[in-house]
Amino acid sequence: MMVIGLSFIICHLSFSSAAAQGIPDMKFRRLDTRDGLANSQVNSIVRDSHGYVWLATPFGLCRYDGYRVRNFYSYERDTMTLRSNRVDKVEEDHYGRLWLNHGMNYSVLDPVTEKVDRQPTRWLAEQGITGGLEYIHIDSKHCYWVKTYDNGFFHYDPRGKHLKRIPFGYEMGSFPKEFAITAATECREAMLFVSNMGELMCIDGNVGVVEWRDDYVKKQLNNFNDYWVFYDKPQDMIWVITHSKGTYIRERSGSQWYSNLTDYMRAKGFQNVPDDIVVWEACYDKKGLLWVATDHLGVLVLNFQTKEWKQFTNVKSDDSSLPESTAKHLYLDQLGRMWVTTFKCGVAMSSDALTNFVTLPVGDINAITEDHQGNWWLGLNSGGILKMDPKTYEVTDSVRKGRIGTPSDVIVSAYTARDGTLYFGTWEGGLITYKNGEWHCLTATSPGSKLGTNNVWSVTEDHWGNIWLGLLGGGVMRLDPKTGSQRVLTDKNSYLATVWTNSISKAANGWILAGNSEYCALIHPQTFKVINMPPPHDENSYTISRASTQALMDERNIIWQASPSGLSINDRTTGESFLLDMKSGFYGSNVVSMVEDDNHTMWVVTDHGVSNITPQKDEDGHWTFPVRSFNDRDGLQPGPFNQRAIYFTKSGLVLIGGQEGLDIINTRKLQAKKRKEKPLFCGLVIFNDLIEAGQKYNGRVILRQTLSSTDHIRLKDTENQFTIQMGSDDGGIKNGKRFVYRMEGFNDEWMKTSAISSDITYMGLPAGDYTLCVRMLNDDGTMGEEESRLDIIIGKPWYRTWWAFMVYIFIACCFGVWWLKKFYRGFKGQRGEADINHTTEYVHGLIHKIWG
């Protein structure tokens, strides 16, 4: 008892500490009929022991592997298919089978063979559960709770094969036959059931007795309904949900009832609670936050410790919000992700990974920097400058041109110098500086100014504290903040190829790198020596745009160029060049900004997405660039993002500006949480035909079991063009991870699946025995530890089989005999009898030598 109590306290403390952190801004990923779901309404969800997610819909059962949906239907002439296309509930049992509820009936799907047993009562009878099946529930320990029509109530524990029966009756401890169960929930060590009249019954299955009953809701409403029950373990409360006539809530050991959620929340100290909340379901997440699915109010998330609550609904044009505002069912999977089903828009999934993205609608952001106190300064496209508190996301100051006397409110660049001075470049407004509470502006018409243009497109600082400006149409200018001296480099007074400078930064070797309309140039900060870099070009693969939106050089001596044609990468040490674009996994090929983080990975922004690149160098010194991409479905703004509007903070955040505000990406959290995923062989396609378990193809059955349940397949030589569909045991919506694979016996080199498809395809594989080895490709470019293997045997063509060779030998022998006979007849007509006898003896002797 002490161990149990201690574990409960530890669990409660960890639950409480997580809940005390508050409610994060929940983001969702969506799955609907556009992704292949059989129906847009989802009635029930379960993630099975193999990692597949199964979804019950009004028209079919769906299996999701993180990449694609596979649907199962009922066919009248095939008794091994679903009993009905209407699937109300799906549950996994102790043996990995799926129990499906079809209104008044049940069936059982074996995921290994994909065959359905439409008469599960036969299996139940073998376990001692006799009688017609009225209701079945499988709890978290995979125990069966079964009510029959005429033989009582049963509890069956398959681990020890323990069976308890509660007979029908009306005395204490018996089960009333008229108690028609509509829902069940686990209540400490017992199971709590609710009837279609709102009655409650608590049963101890291990003992086989009814512990208590409660008919309060029945007396209040006295009508039939599809009631639902929920036990709130942390608060020790029981909920009876009517879906239409209120939600009745009381303490398990008390007698006071609340008739609706609004009154209950107000009694618990929650403020500004809406009236008339119609509840569908409730469920706790792994942090101890209570999720409540409602009708037309979306999802309410309650924190009982802080008395905070948040509402999450559908937001138009935001694909990371709920797909609609009527949420019907909730499901917390084994990985701590909350799934929300909706009435008519499919299902949504929320996970901790999605909370790593935050969007702040603070305007059209062009430029970002961070001062020495940690405040963020945002340059707007037409609204001047904002100062923001990074802890509260509160705008603490707004600076417009009228306040500081500058000619432009269009800020296009920002930089914080080592001495704390803030520099802001503008369009048609020159350079704005801020230091010690004072604002100043340098324009082309200022006294002593050498600015040839008022378009200051970029700002950086060299090793000696000089400020360098990239001028659009004016070349490059160095400004000494101590003396005020200025020097301008153009195509007239230096070797600069152009004056159209889009970006400027300090290279790892201390030189100044200017990205311009002719690729980029390196400038020595003291001698002003200019080296115009030729744009990289691979004559066998691609041609890049010469115009640089941004250019920078990292510590690996690699030049990265953002351009409209993609991201060009030039290793100055080896001379290797690469191009990454939408074919590499970007969301579009127009790269608008990039920054290097403290782990030396690159964050690259396109018009409508953000990609993280982890450069990898193999043993031969060749580079690879794994790409992991995010977009509005991950919680980012839909874009478009703005050029050079990116910044990496001291706390490990990537800030990205776009037309709809500021996106914040927590890179530390993205890198911290890793899980070992296992690849799943989800499907076999031969010449565009999906091969199902038990299906005949070319006159024979290729798969006796599903591909994920078998260890080998045998194909004919005419079936050597095939595709293996890959999935992951993660099961999350829109899994973006790729796979690495090799075919032992054919090619030992590891290859990657494409960025847009998880399929592995082989064309014309020769006859032989092979083994397909597959691993997950981690986000950092390394291979996962979990490996899945599938033996593939390609048969020989008929003319290379053993029986074909026997035929060849037989034909050769027949030809030999025929030739000998012909030779003998011709020889007999030309020679005498003695010669013939001599020849005959010679041939017989020769045959004797050949055949021994």
In angstroms, the Cα distances linking 623 to 212, 225, 605, 617, 696 are 68, 64, 21, 5, 46
Residue 171 binned pLDDT confidence (cut-offs 50, 70, 90): confident
| Cα–Cα distance measured from residue 670 to residue 680, given in angstroms and rounded to the nearest whole number | 24
pLDDT number for residue 5: 38
* Per-residue CA distances from 830 to 631, 825, 833, 834 (Å): 93, 9, 10, 12
**Is residue 264 within 8 Å of 273, Cβ to Cβ?**
no
Instruction: Supply 837's token pair.
Output: 């006898």
- Residues paired with residue 330 on neighbouring β-strands, in sequence order: 340
Q: What distance separates the 2 farthest-apart alpha carbons in the chain?
A: 132
Convert the pLDDT of each residue in 124-161 to its tens digit. Answer: 999 999 999 999 999 999 999 999 999 999 999 999 99
Tokens found for residue 573:
């040490």
Q: Is the pLDDT of residue 539 over 70?
A: no
Helix, strand, coil percentages in the chain from 3-state DSSP, rounded to 5: 15, 40, 45
Confidence of residue 6 (pLDDT cuts 50, 70, 90): very low
Q: Are 380 and 365 in contact (CB under 8 A)?
A: yes
Question: Residue 422 to residues 77, 233, 323, 435, 548: CA-CA distances in angstroms?
Answer: 76, 54, 42, 7, 25
CA 522 to chain centre: 40
- The pLDDT-based confidence of 834 (bands split at 50, 70, 90) is low
Model confidence at 317: pLDDT above 90: no
Q: What is the pLDDT of residue 762?
A: 94
Count CB-CB contacts under 10 A for residue 835. 12
Structure tokens at 600: 């030396």
pLDDT score recorded for residue 593: 97
Separation CA 533–CA 49 (nearest Å): 56
What is the tens place of the pLDDT at every residue in 408-442?
999 999 999 999 999 999 999 999 999 999 999 99
Span 458-487, pLDDT tens digits: 999 999 999 999 999 999 999 999 999 999
pLDDT tops 90 at residue 293: yes
Evaluate whether 218 touches 202 at the Cβ level (below 8 Å): no
DSSP state of 543: -
pLDDT surpassing 90 at residue 99: yes
CB 281 within 8 A of CB 241: yes
Kindly report the three-state secondary structure assignment for every residue of 94-129: CCCCEEEEECCEEEEEECCCCEEECCCHHHHHHCCC
Instruction: Give the 3-state secondary structure of 417-464.
Output: CCCCCEEEEECCCCEEEEECCEEEEECCCCCCCCCCCCCEEEEEECCC
The closest of 570, 536, 533, 564 to 550, measured between CA atoms, is 564
DSSP string, 344-405: SS-EEEE-GGGGGEEEE----EEEEEE-TTS-EEEEESSS-EEEEETTTTEEEEEE-HHHHT
Q: Which two tokens stand for residue 123?
A: 């299996």
The two three-digit tokens of residue 404, written as one number? 């500081």
pLDDT score for 813: 86
Query: 449 exposed, middle or buried (CB, 10 Å; 0-12, 13-18, 19+)?
Result: middle
- 373-379's contacts with Cβ under 8 Å and 24+ in sequence apart are 374/650, 374/651, 376/649, 376/655, 377/414, 377/416, 377/422, 377/424, 378/414, 378/657, 378/662, 379/411, 379/412, 379/413, 379/414, 379/424
Q: Going by DSSP bridges, is the β-strand pair 411-416/394-399 parallel, antiparallel, or unpaired?
A: unpaired
Phi and psi (nearest 5°) for 228?
-130, 145
Half-sphere exposure of 366 (CA within 13 A, CB side): 20
The one-letter code for the residue type at 841 is E
Whether the CB-CB separation of 273 and 256 falls below 8 Å is answered with no
- Residues forming a β-bridge with 612: 603, 628
Share of the chain above pLDDT 90, in %: 73
User: Rounded to whole angstroms, how far apart are CA atoms 169 and 150?
Assistant: 11
Residues contacting residue 825 through CB under 8 Å, at least 6 positions apart: none
Instruction: Quickly list DSSP for 683-703.
Output: EEEETTEEEPTT-EETTEES-
Residue 796 is given by DSSP the state P
C-alpha distance from residue 835 to each of 812, 817, 832, 845, 849 (Å): 28, 20, 5, 15, 21
In this prediction, residue 16 carries a pLDDT of 45
- Residue 634 binned pLDDT confidence (cut-offs 50, 70, 90): confident
Q: Is the dihedral of CA 288, 292, 293, 297 positive or negative?
A: negative
Distance between CA atoms of residues 724 and 685, nearest Å: 6
pLDDT tens-digit series, residues 229-247: 999 999 999 999 998 888 9
Could you tell me if 520 and 551 are in contact, meaning their C-beta atoms sit under 8 angstroms apart?
A: yes
Q: DSSP state, 500?
A: B
Contact 129, 148 (CB under 8 A): yes
pTM listed for this prediction = 0.81
Which pair of tokens denotes residue 526? 């003291």
Calpha distance 459→423 (Å, rounded): 7
Return the amino acid letter for 651. Answer: S
- Assign 3-class secondary structure to 300-355: EEEECCCCEEEEECCCCCCCCCCCCCCEEEEEECCCCCEEEEECCCCEEEECHHHH
The one-letter amino acid code at 649 reads T
Contact yes or no for 415/466 (Cβ under 8 A) = no
Task: Give the confidence band of 838 by pLDDT, cuts at 50, 70, 90.
Answer: low
Helices and strands: H and E segment counts in the chain: 8, 69
Q: Can you give the pLDDT at residue 835?
A: 57
Residue 655 has pLDDT above 60, yes or no: yes
The structure tokens listed for 259 are 């008739």
H/E run at residue 834: helix 833-851
Do 384 and 399 contact (CB within 8 A), yes or no?
yes
pLDDT band at residue 319, thresholds of 50, 70 and 90?
Answer: confident
Q: Which residues contact 749 (CB under 8 A, 6 or more apart)?
A: 742
Q: How far is CA 778 from CA 250, 292, 350, 515, 735, in A?
A: 48, 35, 21, 32, 12
Q: What is the pLDDT of residues 637-650, one digit of tens each?
A: 888 999 999 999 99
Paired residues of 566 in beta bridges: 563
Of 181, 140, 186, 159, the closest CA to residue 47 belongs to 140
Tens of pLDDT, residue by residue over 337-365, are 999 999 999 999 998 877 788 899 999 99
